[in-house]
Amino acid sequence: MLIRDQILVQLYKAGLVKESETVHIIRTQEGLADKLEKQQPQIAKSIKELINDGLIESFSAYVPGAMRKRKAYILTSEGVQIAKKLMQDANEPIYTEYICDQDRCPIGNPCHIKIEDEHKKPKPKCILKGRKTQVEWKKVSK
């Protein structure tokens, strides 16, 4: 993942807060550099790009333990959307979710089944309850 993408994800994880007088150090260049294990100039360059692209905004705030205000960063609404997408892409579920065809389901409501091994065939709840049926499965996610 690119440094700029990592910054977006870290700011998203830090919470969607408004500008305030006191912020956690993760919202500063120093905090981001420590968390991402990168050099501060790399972080500064990426932050400048993100500001120019309209994905983050800067403001001055106190960090606990600091004597003076520091520049802190928050996501814009567009930055939030991109950060969410990056997190979804990075944290792809390790299971496949299936839903049975409701029209053919003998118990009336569709079964939702999550399977870790993609090659296993799902067993619907209605079969597990002792009913014989032919259920069509729709793959929901992977």
User: Domain ranges in the chain?
Assistant: 3-90, 96-141
Q: Which residues have CB under 8 Å from 6's CB, separation 6+?
A: 36
Q: What percent of the chain has pLDDT over 70?
A: 60
- How sure is the predictor about 95, in pLDDT bands with cuts at 50, 70 and 90? very low
CA dihedral angle for residue 61, residue 54, residue 18, residue 64, rounded to 10 degrees? -30
pLDDT at 46 over 90: yes
Q: What is the mean pLDDT of the chain?
A: 75
Residue, of 9 and 106, whose pLDDT is higher = 9
Residue with tokens 């929901």: 140
- pLDDT value for 72: 93
Q: Which residues have CB under 8 Å from 52's CB, separation 6+?
A: none
Q: What percent of the chain has pLDDT over 90?
A: 37
- How sure is the predictor about 5, in pLDDT bands with cuts at 50, 70 and 90? very high
Residue, of 19 and 71, whose pLDDT is higher = 71
Q: Which of 93, 126, 83 is nearest to 108 (CA)?
A: 126
- Contact predicate 135/124, CB 8 Å: yes
pTM beyond cutoff 0.75: no
Residue, of 142 and 26, whose pLDDT is higher = 26
Burial state string for 102-133 with b = 16 or more CB within 10 A and e = fewer than 16: eeebeeeebbebeeeeeeeebebbbbeeeeee
| Class of domain 3-90 (CATH, top level) | mainly alpha
